Chains A and B, each alone.
Chain A
Amino acid sequence: MAELHVSIVSADREVWAGAAKQVVARTTEGEIGILAGHEPILAILAPGEVRVNGNDGSVVRITADDGFLSVENNRITVVSRVATVV
């Protein structure tokens, strides 16, 4: 199965980048889980946590305040002014 390429960027640097199986984020509309092959989407994030589930079962948690999330061709970009890996 195709995998996701995730990059999480804050205003002054790239916080985290890598491959993943699933990304779970909280948008203003509610929680969204993204697997490979997801349709292109641009969503506004609600303050909260973004969870990146790696291929090997590892989980990376990132707190992202007011930002957005874009998905296209299995590339996920989480853009937040202030993002930190928990």
Chain B
Amino acid sequence: MGSQLRVYRQKIRSAQTTKKITRAMELIAASRIQKAKQRLAASVPYSSAVTRAVSGVATFSNVDHILTTEPEKVERAAVVIFSSDRGLAGAFNTNVLREAEELSTLLRNQGKEVVYYLVGRKAVGYFSFRGREFERSWTGETDNPTVATAQEIGNALVEKFQADQVDGGVDEIHIVYNRFVSMLTQQPLVIRLLPLEIIEGVEEPAEHELLPLYDFEPNAATVLDALLPVYIESRIFTAMLQSAASKHAATQKAMKSASDNADKLIKDYTRLSNNARQSEITQQISEIVGGADALSSAKK
């Protein structure tokens, strides 16, 4: 067998093995994405109830609360980056990290110090590779986020937010994550969590409907105190779920194009190896014919 032919066959085999792996990963991601989407949908009642209540308190009462008022001077801002634990997801992590870098540049230009909180091994890897510091990190369950972790992150952030500036407290909290738009589109998104910027989901009351004038028990300030950490936690949990769903979608897309690419490679190399085989045969025939010719002419 010609050496050229052997090289092609080897390449075909390696493409086939790779394809097996990428195909399997594609299927796994496709099944996980369904689960992730269901979890996302299941968490909607909670987050919308919390959002509604927060907007209720913030809109219909005039309490001054640390979490809703803008500080006069912002010294330090926290940025929470939601990445994934594993790669092989196309531009998923690159996008979110680039968005975070842009945000950091913006914040630094405004004279703010940036403190990082990282979720997911990829962000941690990115930071430690560049020798940059981060405040805290959470890894290991980006594929399947739990409420407990969201609570932990939320508590850490709110605690930092309530601390004084001299003690390393932060005045702003931003989150950066991939929003799950559809199976094909995931959009990196920056949201300022605190101080509350825009309260989403405040429904404009219809003409005939009166605004619910809430009564607060025990009182508005206490309710807000109890509500805002819950709100932050729910936003973080939503971000984690969004990020997980986006990750699976991105993986599926990346693995699909990898499998397609492997298919193309296999096809191309098969053509080439057929060509090589054919030319080898042609060469052998012409050698035999040439040899026979030479023999018969020598006999005469």
Q: Chain A residues in contact with chain B, CB under 8 A?
A: 7, 9-14, 27-29, 32, 39-44, 66-68, 70, 72-73, 77, 79, 81-82
Contacts of A77 in B (CB 8 A): 49, 52-53
Q: Given that A42-B214, A44-B217, A73-B212 are contacting pairs, would A68 and B43 also be in contact in the complex, using a CB cutoff of 8 Å?
A: no
Closest to B225 in A: A44
Q: Assess the B147–A81 pair: CB atoms within 8 A.
A: yes
Looking at B96-104, B131-139, B226-234, the stretch in contact with chain A turns out to be: B226-234
Docked CA distance A73–B203 (Å): 14
Q: Assess the B46–A12 pair: CB atoms within 8 A.
A: yes
A10 to chain B, nearest CB (A): 7
B56 interface residue (CB < 8 Å to A): yes
Kindly list the 5 A-B residue pairs having the minimum CB-CB distance in the complex, ordered from nearest: A40-B212, A43-B217, A72-B212, A13-B42, A9-B45
Contacts of A79 in B (CB 8 A): 46, 49-50, 53, 230
Quick one: which of B199-249 are within 8 Å of A by CB? 212-218, 222-223, 226-227, 230, 233-234, 237
Q: Chain B residues in contact with chain A, CB under 8 A?
A: 39, 42-43, 45-46, 49-50, 52-53, 56-57, 147, 150-151, 212-218, 222-223, 226-227, 230, 233-234, 237
Docked CA distance A28–B45 (Å): 24
B180 to chain A, nearest CB (A): 16
A52 to chain B, nearest CB (A): 16
- In the complex, besides A12-B147, A79-B49, 5 extra interface pairs with C-beta distance below 8 angstroms are A7-B45, A40-B213, A79-B46, A79-B230, A81-B151
By secondary structure, the A interface counts as: strand
Q: Assess the A44–B46 pair: CB atoms within 8 A.
A: no
Q: Assess the B46–A68 pair: CB atoms within 8 A.
A: no
Docked CA distance A11–B236 (Å): 11
Q: Assess the B46–A11 pair: CB atoms within 8 A.
A: yes
Q: Given that A11-B46, A11-B237, A12-B39 are contacting pairs, would A32 and B217 also be in contact in the complex, using a CB cutoff of 8 Å?
A: yes
Contacts of B213 in A (CB 8 A): 39-40
B68 to chain A, nearest CB (A): 15
19 contacts between A and B (CB under 8 A): A9-B46, A12-B39, A12-B42, A13-B46, A14-B42, A27-B217, A28-B217, A29-B218, A39-B215, A40-B212, A40-B213, A41-B215, A42-B214, A42-B215, A42-B216, A42-B223, A66-B226, A81-B147, A81-B230
